[in-house]
């Protein structure tokens, strides 16, 4: 299995539990990170003024990625592109010259094709057309993943990048949705412990705009591993913040202790819905 992500920390906030699950079952799982997160902000307020971190944030993020990798038990590779940052303001500034989002999709896909042909995965996970959320690097991650999925299998394309390899299944990660947050909120309200913050969070997602969920992977036993991987990205994840708002026991009791995916493309026959990214391959 290969999971393609835009920045270090994305692998821990999107699909970490299922990756850890498959590692424990004996699968080879490789995270490929497109950029080094060089232009990321420090999102943990407790570290925002740490001078050592501010002096070399890219190095810190590499160290954090290595720590999260150890927690999850995955292999890891950098694709080598430069973080685009998240431009803000009106008018919105241009993306920096040479950043990942300004690279042509063809150029961006080439090293991923080479990695796919070398690693020979059966399953590839990535983001949807909107990047999960519209960060330019997430959208570009989707674009190069979709192209590499096709190009890696094409014997006429770039033979210097290795022998052709057909990935059997490509999934989009659907980690955040109105259905998920509302389902947990309804569970809490039903047992008499309503969570207004969670209900407000659910309302931020437009009604009827959720992506299709074809595959829900049970990660009840991997929630603590996921949390440890998130905490490994100390500059990016506030240990008292959003990712830890819902207690793991609530996720288990409400039957939302899952990683949710959309099967976008399959080269094998499938029966939907699924509970396993490797369904049909075992």
Q: How far apart are CA 192 and CA 141, in angstroms?
A: 42
Q: Show the tokens assigned to 82.
A: 């430069």
Residues 6+ apart with CB under 8 A from 98: 82
Q: 3-class SS at 149?
A: helix
Instruction: Evaluate the omega torsion of the peptide bond into residue 177 and state whether it is cis, within 30 degrees of 0.
Output: no
* Residue 10 labeled ligand binder: yes
DSSP 198-267: HHHHHHTSPTT-PPP--EEEE-GGGHHHHHHHHHHSTTT--TTSGGGSS-HHHHHHTT--EEEEEEEEES
* Residue 255 labeled ligand binder: no
The annotated binding site for Zn(2+) is made up of 7, 10, 138
The annotated binding site is made up of 7, 10, 138
């Amino acid at each position: 299995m290969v999971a393609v992500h835009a920045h270090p920390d994305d692998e821990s906030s999107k699909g970490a539990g299922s990756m850890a699950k498959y590692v424990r079952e004996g699968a080879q799982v490789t995270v490929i990170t497109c950029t080094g997160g060089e232009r990321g902000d420090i999102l943990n307020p407790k570290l925002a003024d740490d001078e050592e971190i501010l002096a070399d944030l890219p190095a810190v993020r590499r160290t954090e990625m290595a720590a999260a990798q150890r927690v999850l038990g995955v292999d890891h590779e950098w694709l080598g592109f430069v973080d685009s940052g998240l431009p803000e303001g009106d008018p919105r500034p241009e993306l920096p010259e040479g950043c990942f989002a300004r690279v042509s999709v063809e150029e961006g896909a080439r090293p991923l094709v080479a990695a796919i042909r070398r690693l020979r995965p059966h399953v590839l996970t990535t983001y949807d057309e909107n990047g999960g959320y519209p960060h330019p690097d997430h959208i570009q991650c989707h674009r190069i993943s979709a192209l590499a999925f096709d190009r890696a299998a094409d014997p006429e394309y770039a033979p210097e990048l290795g022998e052709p390899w057909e990935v059997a299944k490509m999934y989009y990660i659907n980690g955040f949705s109105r259905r998920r947050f509302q389902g947990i909120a309804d569970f809490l309200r039903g047992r008499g412990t309503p969570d207004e913050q969670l209900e407000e969070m659910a309302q931020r997602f437009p009604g009827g705009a959720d992506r299709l969920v074809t595959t829900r992977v049970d990660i009840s036993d991997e929630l603590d591993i996921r949390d440890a991987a998130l905490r490994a990205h100390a500059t990016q994840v506030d240990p008292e913040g959003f990712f830890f708002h819902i207690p793991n026991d609530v996720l288990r009791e409400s039957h939302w202790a899952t990683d949710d995916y959309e099967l976008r493309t399959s080269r094998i026959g499938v029966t939907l819905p699924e509970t396993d990214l490797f369904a049909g391959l075992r």
